[in-house]
Structure formats: C-alpha cells, structure tokens
C-alpha cells in the first residue's frame, strides 16, 4: 500500500503521484482513498476528470463500486489551472483521456507546491501506452501500479482486453466490453502466439 512521506507542513513542497493499471485494478478506489484521507486532515482537495468520461455521472468521480466523491469535468487539461484557488491536493481521474498538455500542467502545479495525484490506464485495449500517462510516469515522484485479476487464469492482470470488435480507441463501457487479462492470456487472445 502507498504511504505518504512524513511531511513537515512548514516546508510542504509539491509532487506528482501516479496510480496506473488496467481496468478493474482499483485505480479510482486508490485515488479516492488518498483524497479522502487528505480531506479528513482538512486539506483543500479538488478533483478533475475529462468531460469525455460520462459513463455514470458528470459531477462525481465514481469507481465501479459506487464509492464516489465530487469532481469537476473539464474539456481540456488547460482548464485545470484556471479552476484552482488555494487547493493543496489535486486529483485527476481517467487521465489517459486528457491531451498531452496534462504533463506540463501537472508539473507546473507540483512546482507550485501542490500534491498532484493522477489515476489512469497505462495501456489502451491494444496494449499500447495510453495518452499522457507514460510521460506522467516518467516525471512523477511516486508511481503505483495496481493490478486486476485475470478472468481466464487468475494471475495478476495488466491488460484491458476488449471483448467486442471495434477499433475506436475511446470506447466507454464496463464489464460488457472489457475484461482484465494477464500477459499470457492477452497474447493468446490477440493471436500473438498463433
Ligand atoms: Zn491469464
């Protein structure tokens, strides 16, 4: 489990944390866990997500088990700094759907002394690094990779396998469209071994 550094609030500096992994790996739950603890400590918290992610609720970060906290949907990463006042902690969910400018935005916020916690898919359904996540992983101080359980064999899963035939990169949907698979089962499904 991720444990925050002991922070001397007098000397508080910003940094970036990334929580990545496949679908069904608990990324949003982990983001919510960290943000709720900061809120309990009376820190000013704000959460953003791309306006594209409208699966459940435009105004809430919703994890799959309906453990939710309020968030602000924004059309582009450039909107995020404009909406910040004196927040100490910023959460960004479904970060893979943001534009590449998110990397610069997160780094500027961290440089201003803000704790930035980013959650997102590290790979798309084809197993390719997804949007701004790779560059965020490179520039973050702390990286947590969480795993789902492979539905075929029970090993740790790192792939979000799309069960339906559709080559759109952004296809919003849940259990009916995707399943978590391990490397081996994903490569069999994708025909890499055959
Ligand atoms: Zn497997």
SS3 letters for the chain?
CCCCCCCCHHHCCCEEEEEEECCCCCHHHHHHHHHHHHHHCCCCEEEEEECCCCCCCCCEEECCCCCEEECEEECCCCHHHHCCCCCCEEEECCHHHCCCCHHHHHHHHHHCCCEEEEEEECECCCCCECCCHHHHHHHCCEEEEECEECCCCCCEECEEEECCCCCCCCCCCCCCCEEEECHHHHHHHCCCCC
Radius of gyration of the chain, Cα coordinates, nearest whole angstrom? 17
Give the predicted TM-score (pTM) of the model: 0.87
* Rounded distance from Cα 127 to ligand 1 centre (Å): 15
* Rounded distance from Cα 25 to ligand 1 centre (Å): 14
**Stretches in the chain below the pLDDT threshold 70:** 6-12, 53-69, 166-175, 192-194
* Rounded distance from Cα 80 to ligand 1 centre (Å): 38
* Rounded distance from Cα 93 to ligand 1 centre (Å): 27
* Rounded distance from Cα 118 to ligand 1 centre (Å): 27
Burial class (CB within 10 angstroms; exposed 0-12, middle 13-18, buried 19+) of 40: exposed
Please give the pLDDT value at position 62: 54
Q: Is residue 103 part of a domain?
A: yes
pLDDT (tens digit per residue) in 125-180: 999 999 999 999 999 999 999 999 999 999 999 999 998 876 666 655 555 789 99
In the residue annotation, 94 being an active-site residue is answered as yes
Please give the residue range of the domain that contains residue 70. Answer: 4-146
Q: Is residue 104 part of a domain?
A: yes
Catalytic residue among 94, 101, 179, 189: 94
Assign residue 65 the CATH number of its domain. 3.40.50.300
Number of domains the chain contains: 1
């Amino acid at each position: 489990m991720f444990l925050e550094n002991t922070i001397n609030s007098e000397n508080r500096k910003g940094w970036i944390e990334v929580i990545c992994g496949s679908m069904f790996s608990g990324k949003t739950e982990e983001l919510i866990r960290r943000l709720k603890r900061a809120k309990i400590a009376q820190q000013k918290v704000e959460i953003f997500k791309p306006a594209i992610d409208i699966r459940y609720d435009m105004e809430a970060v919703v994890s799959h088990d309906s453990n939710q906290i309020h968030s602000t949907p924004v059309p582009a990463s450039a909107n995020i700094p404009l909406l910040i006042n004196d927040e100490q902690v910023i959460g960004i969910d479904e970060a893979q759907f943001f534009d590449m400018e998110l990397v610069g935005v997160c780094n500027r916020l961290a440089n201003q002394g803000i704790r930035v916690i980013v959650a997102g898919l590290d790979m798309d359904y084809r197993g390719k690094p997804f949007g701004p996540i790779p560059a965020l992983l490179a520039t973050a101080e702390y990286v947590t990779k969480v795993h789902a359980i492979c539905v075929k064999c029970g090993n740790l899963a790192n792939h979000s396998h799309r069960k339906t035939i559709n080559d759109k990169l952004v296809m919003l949907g849940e259990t009916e469209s995707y399943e978590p698979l391990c490397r081996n089962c994903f490569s069999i499904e994708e025909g890499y071994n055959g």
